[in-house]
Every structure is written in C-alpha cells, then in structure tokens.
Amino acid sequence: MIADWTPIPAEFAQRYRDAGYWTGETFGEFLADRATRFAGNLAVVDERNRWTYRELDERATRMAHGLRAHGIEPGDRVVVQLPNIAEFVAVIFGLFRLGAVPVFALPAHRYAEITEFCRITEATGYVIADRHAGFDYRALATQVQAENPALRTVFVHGEPGEHTALADVPVNGDEPFHTVRPDELSFLQLSGGSTGGPKLIPRIHDDYLYSVRESAAICELSEDTVYLVALPVAHNFPMSSPGILGVLHAGGRIVLAPAPSPDVVFELIQRERVTITGVVPPIALQLLDSPARGQYDLSSLDILQVGGAKFVEQAARRVAPELGCRLQQVFGMAEGLVNYTRAGDPDDIVVTTQGRPISPADEVRVLDEDDDPVAPGEIGALLTRGPYTIRSYYRAGERGAANFTEDGFYRTGDLVRQLPTGHLIVEGRAKDQINRGGEKITAEEIENHLLAHDAVHDAAVVSIPDDYLGERSCAFIVATEPVRAPELRRFLRERGLAAYKIPDRIEFVDTFPATGVGKTSRRHLRAELAASLSKES
C-alpha cells in the first residue's frame, strides 16, 4: 500500500528534537495548559460571544465528547468550512482533542472544491454554517454527501435543515480520549497548488507548533496581545503566522472580524483595542485609502502584517506614517517556510523585502533552471527544506512528487532574490498560478473545467497585472462553435467553482500561437498569451 504522505525523515526529526525545535507539545494539551494559567482571561471574541480560556477549553472538551458520540473517531478527517465565528475555534480544538484531523476549507469554496477534499480524504464529517454571505451551505453539503458515501455526518452551525445541529453536539463526558502523538497528522491545510486540482498539506503537531511558537516570539506576542482575524480564519496565515494559534499559545485574545471591510476592521480595532492584525495587500490598500480612517481611534494598533502576495514598496512605505503602526511583511506558505521582517530591521528592509525565515534550520536554496545555485543576490527559484516544511502532499501520488526534490526540498515556485542579511525579495513566480490578491488560482485547474464545455476546443489561463489585486485572471479560449463569455462564466459557476476562480476576463482567439500547441510546454504558451495582453495595453 502506498503511504498517504511522506513525513520528515527520522534523522531530521531527531535533529529537530535535539535542537529543541520539536518539543512534543500537541494542540489539545497546550490549550488545556493555558486554560489553567489564563483561566479568566478572554480568549475568543466574536459578534455574539466572549469566551474566557476556561470557557473555550470546556467547550472544546464537550465538543470532542459530542463529536465522538456522533461517530467521529481518532484519525477521521473532518472538513471544516466555517466563517469567522468563535465556534470555529471550539470545533478545531474539539477535533484536536479527539485526535481527529480537520481539513481546512475556506468559506469561498463550493461544490467543485469541497467534493474533491471529501473524495481525497474520505472525510466522515463536514462542518458548515447554515448560510453565510448569501450562500446556503446546507444544499451544498447534501450534494457533496450524495457523491461521497464515507461522509456520514454534516454538522451545521445555525438551522440544520436535514443535517445535524452543531449546537446539539457538545456533551459532558469522562471517557478519556485517545492519546494524541506529537508526530501524528494533526490537520490538512490547503495549498493553492500549481498543477492539477487543489492539494492537501499534511502537518503534524511537532512541526506546526514549532513554527507557531517561533512566530509568536518574532511578533512579540504576550497576554496583552489582541489579534484581529481579518482574513478567513482557516487560512494558514491567520491560523499560524502567528495567527490564532500563536495568540492562544501566548495567552492573548482573538477577535474575529466577520468581514475585512475597512469599516468593520477599524470599528473592531477601536472597540477591542486590537494590537496586531494580518491582511493581504488589497485589504491593506483599502485600509490606507479609506476615508473613514480618521473617524476611528487606531492608537492601540502596533503591528499591521501584510502577506499572501507581494506588497509593493510604494504602498509599504505608507503604512507607518498613515496608520501609525509598524509594518511587518510576511511571506509564507501552508507547505511550511514562513518569512518575517523583524522588529529590529531597518525601515528600508521592512518596506523592500518579504522578510527572512523563522528558523536557523530553514534551508533556503535559490537555483537557476538547471537547479544550480545562482550567484549571491541574483534572481532564482526558491527551494526550501526545514523543521516545519512538508516532504510531500497528502495522497497526491505522482502528481505531487514533482514539487519536491530527491533530497526533500520543496519547490516553492517563487522567484526570489536573497540579500546578504538573509532577507528574501519575491521577484515573480515560475509556477502556473495566478495570485489574485492572496487567493491562489491554479491555471490548469481552471483550464480543465473550461475544457469540459462542448464549445471549448482549448483553453489557457494566465495572469494580468492589476493595480488593486496585483493580478487578475484571463482565460484565452479557442472555441469550436460560437459561445459567449457570460455563458462560460455561468458554466464554471454551475460546476461549483469558487467565485474567485472564475476568470476576470475571457478572450477568444482563433488558434494558440503555433509554437504553443503541443510542441512546447503550456508554460510557454501561457507566457506568450500573457505577453500578447501586455503588448496590447
């Protein structure tokens, strides 16, 4: 039988333990410990709840007992797709305590993505909200359940319809839980991926908690920290860099924002005396450009983290003077490696680089097309290996192997330059992905969906520069019969593709450039098509 994933090899794991990086801590345990140390301190705040550490811990335990009573067992995968609400935190810690494995979906995901996560993981549970942002997740769940026989139970926050009410799940219990090992699969995080469909990222307690503890230290978190979750909470950035896990580890407070709009963010910063938040570049720009800014007291805000996509220097320079807080750039990936600018870094480094790695044990290689090192300071492809970077995707088989070298380095697909100080500057990308304001879109995934349309002979999806989002997507189509762009967009929506993946622009062409068809790689074809767009503009 083929293993589901390749762990970090034993000799490396031993090295990381000897160095004190991997400490044997688990998610379930650390929350229990904080609940005794910070019992009465507020841990989680949302629109309707204000939970102390003791309350969160009790809720997680009751959730774990209840989920078990509903048939969720240690090792089971459970897809969690919730908006930014306190229950998300209770659910994931309940799953951790039980030894079950959350699969972190985003609220934007629809049928195409969710059914794929369920199929790959053979999930037995799926946790949703009844409705959010105008979308009814219960109907989606019913559809997914029809296709995935392993999916026994759908838990719904709110009105359950034909499913199980999440509110009825928590129960008291005293039967002990299975002992969770620190080198066990703790959850599956999502990758934007660069080939094929979405990829699942297997992380263990030891490796993830190392990055979380170090992130908390780098960001100087303490009991006094108030962290605003502006991005979707299940995303790796607000989860771990330092995110909700870093804040809970440090005994601070999480405030969940229902949406990242400037009014909501400013209002919560003022009301909850927020000290740190993390956003993607388009949201940072919105905060900077919002006329409402002057009406709020933002004096508590110490750090604005920006990451997920390149934050251009001109915008980066505006943060400290205009928002009255420090900027921290964060260049991370759910696969592992995370880079931060640090408190002691000179201003120029903070505004022009995307930071340097968390760990002295993060191995960084900057390579040319033949996999040879570039001269110091030159642009090359970033590869990395280290104490919290995966060695394989989850159940990805051959398709996933191309993303890793023989000696276990992850090919990030990013083009970078490294300064003598170790700081990285992201200069571009070698992977076939569109980074739409931090939301990653795999060209091939969208092309495959387009090719399923009868009128589409061939399709190539490329990025186009955009002042606000950084990039938008454009699909080039060779059609076999007349078809219009709105029809193709509707087709993609009906296939259940997340809205951010629907091409922003659709261009019809008679043929693809001759060199592109079959003879050279699709990468060259995409590059040529993207070049034809920029020539025209």
Residue number with CB closer to ligand AMP (115 or 435): 435
Least Å from the CB of residue 488 to ligand DBH: 28
Contact (CB, 8 A) for 191 and 201: yes
Query: What, of ligand AMP, ligand DBH, none, does residue 121 touch, CB below 5 to 8 Å by kind?
Result: none
User: 300: closest CA among 269, 330, 339?
Assistant: 269
Q: Which is nearer to ligand DBH, 390 or 506 (CB)?
A: 390
308 binds ligand AMP (CB under 6 A): yes
Q: Which does 338 bind (CB under 5 to 8 A by kind): ligand DBH, ligand AMP, none?
A: ligand DBH
Q: Which CB atom, from 45 or from 316, has the smaller least distance to ligand AMP? A: 316
Secondary structure of 91-135 in the HEC alphabet? HHHHHHHHCCEEEECCCCCCHHHHHHHHHHHCCCEEEEECEECCE
Q: Is 386 in the site for ligand AMP (CB under 6 A)?
A: no
Question: Judged by CB under 6 A, which of 27, 96, 187, 237 binds ligand DBH?
Answer: 237
H or E segment at 349? helix 347-352
Do residues 125 and 72 touch, judged by C-beta distance below 8 A?
A: yes
d(CA 306, CA 283): 9
133 with 107: CB under 8 angstroms?
yes
Q: What is the DSSP letter of 7?
A: P
Q: Which parts of 255-409 fold into alpha helices (H)? A: 262-272, 281-289, 313-323, 347-352, 397-401
Q: Is 414 in the site for ligand AMP (CB under 6 A)?
A: yes
What DSSP letter does each residue of 453-491 carry, written as one string?
Answer: STTEEEEEEEEEEETTTEEEEEEEEEESS---HHHHHHH
CA-CA distance, 275 to 254, in Å (whole number)? 10
Rounded-to-integer distance, Cα 269 and Cα 277, Å? 9
Is 392 or 435 the residue whose CB approaches ligand DBH more closely?
435
What is the dihedral angle through the alpha carbons of 87, 92, 96, 98, rounded to the nearest 10 degrees? 50
Q: With CB cut-offs between 5 and 8 Å by kind, which of ligand AMP, ligand DBH, none does residue 354 bind? A: ligand AMP
Among 46, 87, 214, 335, binds ligand AMP (CB under 6 A): 335
Site residues for ligand AMP, 349-368, by CB under 6 A, read 354
User: Does 334 participate in binding ligand DBH (rule CB under 6 A)?
Assistant: yes
What does the per-residue mask of binding to ligand DBH show for 299-328, with x meaning CB under 6 A? --------xx--------------------
Among 89, 309, 319, 358, binds ligand AMP (CB under 6 A): 309
Size of interface with ligand AMP, in residues (CB under 6 A): 21
Please name the amino acid found at residue 458. D
Q: Is the dihedral of CA 249, 236, 329, 322 positive or negative?
A: negative
Q: Which of 186, 241, 341, 359 binds ligand DBH (CB under 6 A)?
A: 241
266 binds ligand DBH (CB under 6 A): no
- The site for ligand DBH (CB under 6 A) is made up of 236-237, 240-241, 307-308, 330, 332-334, 338, 438
- The site for ligand AMP (CB under 6 A) is made up of 191-192, 236, 307-310, 329-335, 354, 412, 414, 426, 429, 435, 440
